[in-house]
Copies of this chain bind each other. A is one copy, B any other.
């Protein structure tokens, strides 16, 4: 939580603020908020007159960031609210805005997708370790084939990313007997720093990737990283595809040394002829981690609460820090 309260108070307290949202669905979903006027504009063409005063802009989920010209048409804009946890798509645009002297705060959708994104990682890791794809195929043939599988109990679980998503993955699998270790960009109490990875990777039977995509994490999981994992390790990437070197991962899976659940890929969507589809030990869920039924309602509830904070002069939540 970053305190912008005092400043907001001076600027907006007692005024009706304008919020720009990309669809009627969003306006309806957010509902009426005392002290705020919600107008619809999707960033194409000229903004409607009543959008020009917009202080907060709600992003279009999973679309390209708004063009710079559209953002320049909103001179009062102070906050861009995303519904995704990752903000990587918006970082170049934000840099452009800031370079032109605009003071824009970026807020992400932390909490909107956390439980469901963590769940797809746990689902993917358990599915691979417990051979669910095999049992699905055996069931299709009406075959009772009780083959012994490996388990997650007694295994070391390394979680890259110690935010809401990573912490939930760790807690969920710890309850099933795994021993989690959290890693984040900087070490803190109970969390190892990313510089400690060389010592941690050789004993990581399970690996979950829940890091934001940044210059620092792009390509982090490369051939050398993967080679440091023990034989039989199982990983899940539910963050962003480009954190993992796809070719290196395909090679390890084809060699039968590693297995991988991928909710995100590079490229994405995965073209039909891509080798990941058929690499042994790969389970693909097509970027469905955060998008469960009900996430839209959670997203609109977050936006509504943010608008109420601005109206009340309270600090915003989910502010993306400068280090991101």
Q: How many copies does the complex hold?
A: 2
Please indicate the chain B residues that have their CB under 8 angstroms from the CB of A131 in the complex: 288
Q: Kindly state whether residue A294 has any CB partner on chain B within 8 Å.
A: yes
Please indicate the chain B residues that have their CB under 8 angstroms from the CB of A269 in the complex: 144, 146
Is the CB–CB distance between A288 and B148 below 8 Å?
yes
A129, B150: Cα distance in complex, Å: 23
Q: Kindly state whether residue A151 has any CB partner on chain B within 8 Å.
A: yes
A206, B126: Cα distance in complex, Å: 18
Is the CB–CB distance between A291 and B176 below 8 Å?
no
Question: Considering the complex, which residues of chain A in the window 112-140 have a beta carbon less than 8 Å from any beta carbon of chain B?
Answer: 114-116, 118-120, 122-123, 126-127, 129-133, 135-139
| Chain B nearest Cβ from A173, distance in angstroms | 7
The 8 Å CB contact of A146, one of B171, B277, B291, is B291
The stretch that binds B, out of A94-102, A182-190, A278-286, is: A278-286
Is the CB–CB distance between A130 and B123 below 8 Å?
yes
Q: Kindly state whether residue A322 has any CB partner on chain B within 8 Å.
A: no
A interface, CB within 8 angstroms of B: 114-116, 118-120, 122-123, 126-127, 129-133, 135-139, 142-154, 168, 171-173, 175-177, 269-270, 272-274, 277-278, 283-288, 291-295
29 A-B contacts (beta carbon < 8 Å): A115-B152, A116-B152, A119-B152, A119-B176, A120-B130, A122-B122, A122-B172, A122-B176, A123-B126, A130-B292, A131-B288, A132-B285, A135-B286, A142-B274, A142-B277, A143-B272, A144-B286, A145-B286, A147-B288, A148-B293, A149-B288, A150-B292, A150-B294, A151-B293, A151-B295, A154-B294, A168-B175, A168-B176, A172-B172
